[in-house]
Amino acid sequence: MAERVLITGARAPVALDLARSLRAAGLEPVLADCVPAWAARMSNAVATVVRYASPVHDPARFAADMRALLDRFEPVLVIPTCEEVFHLAAVAEADGFGDRVLAPALAALTTLHAKGRFTALCRRLSLPVPETHEVSDRADLSPFADRREDWVFKPVWSRFGARSRIAPSRRDLDAIQPSPDEPWVVQRRIDGDEVSFYAVCHDGRLTAFSAYRSDWRLGGGASYVFQPVDPDLAARLEDMARVLAAFAGTGQIACDAIVDAGGQPWLIECNPRATSGVHLFGRSAAFGLALLGRGEAAADGQSRHIGSALWLHGLPTAVGRGRLTAWSAQRRHGEDVVTSPTDRGPVVGALVDLLGFGSRALVTGVSLTAATTADIEWNGRPFDHRL
């Protein structure tokens, strides 16, 4: 019988490509989530899809479900894809199965994810980061009010950049209400191009790395096109990833950076989980093995995109902004991350998933991107280790 790997956060497009790479490497991927995850259910790369309770709405049940899944499937590794990683790490630490989860220890996870703590870590590690201040009171914003154009304001715990304010107006600045329970960071604005990297590490050693950029984004900030960066920049970012891997130990590290006019990349934040960099490995067996620490994998240099978003959002954007040539080039030369030539089913499932999250967004009055994470996200609150 093939070894099993449990992938949580089956809703994420990256879960499909993780499963495909593991399948190519001869492993049996089992996916799980607290939503139906129809795209994953309709993929022929996935052995089965199972449910667990929402870690936000029913943390005790989530913990019990995770223990039951470990007993049932006996996976050699659990790979989180979304913010359930924090809830999972808390349960793993309490129950002593942290060595089976592709994630750093909870304390390291928190340091990497909290924007203020991450920049402080980078300074200690001599990695380039913009000047950053954490604020927890309205009065803390006063020193930045007169030079708002020089600063970026964003919550310590946030995702997709949806609440970030770059050089905000006086009115927007007045609307920011930091508190001890919801702190913000104020970060020196760096003008330049945004890039990202994704890395896997085991025992402080990189086993997989990819670096990419995107200038095709949804309204909330999430990208749907992923294009490799040039080799020189990728090498500089990989050096940074190696330093962070030595701190994290074992897990997934994904960072965003701004490359200034002089070519210097500045790290601005980190997501210690799977991100779209997963798609750049071409669903290879080498990447599947690298996830387990059994070899190394490099990106294949091919551009990728989320096909439905490229059509539904990208085409109107291209028409409105005069970018039809770039859009056509991406459609012709890029590859869809949801489907593959031998796995077409997920495209229908992805539309069903989109309708589900869209309905949730309408009912709850939040954005579509917020609806996709509301039942799994973590915003810094203490975990109950009695789960």
Residue type, 203: D
User: Given this model, what pLDDT does residue 221 score?
Assistant: 66
* pLDDT single digits (tens) 189-201: 999 999 999 999 9
* pLDDT single digits (tens) 139-160: 999 999 889 999 999 999 887 7
CATH of 193-343, one of 3.30.470.20, 2.40.50.140, 3.10.129.10, 1.20.272.10: 3.30.470.20
User: Is 8 in a helix, a strand, or coil?
Assistant: strand
Q: Are 214 and 268 in contact (CB under 8 A)?
A: no
pLDDT at residue 231 tops 90: yes
User: Given this model, what pLDDT does residue 379 score?
Assistant: 87
Q: How confident is the model at residue 43 (pLDDT cuts 50, 70, 90)?
A: very high
- Residue 296 to residue 146: CA distance in whole angstroms: 49
Q: How confident is the model at residue 223 (pLDDT cuts 50, 70, 90)?
A: confident
Lowest mean pLDDT among 35-39, 272-276, 292-296, 374-378: 374-378
Q: Are 314 and 327 in contact (CB under 8 A)?
A: yes
Smallest CA-to-CA distance from 49 within 10, 78, 16 is with 10
- What residue ranges do the domains of the chain occupy? 131-188, 193-343
User: Given this model, what pLDDT does residue 315 score?
Assistant: 93
Q: How confident is the model at residue 163 (pLDDT cuts 50, 70, 90)?
A: confident
CA angle in degrees (0–180, nearest 5) for 312-317-321:
165
**Global confidence as pTM:** 0.94
Q: Give me the residue label for tokens 């009010």.
A: 145
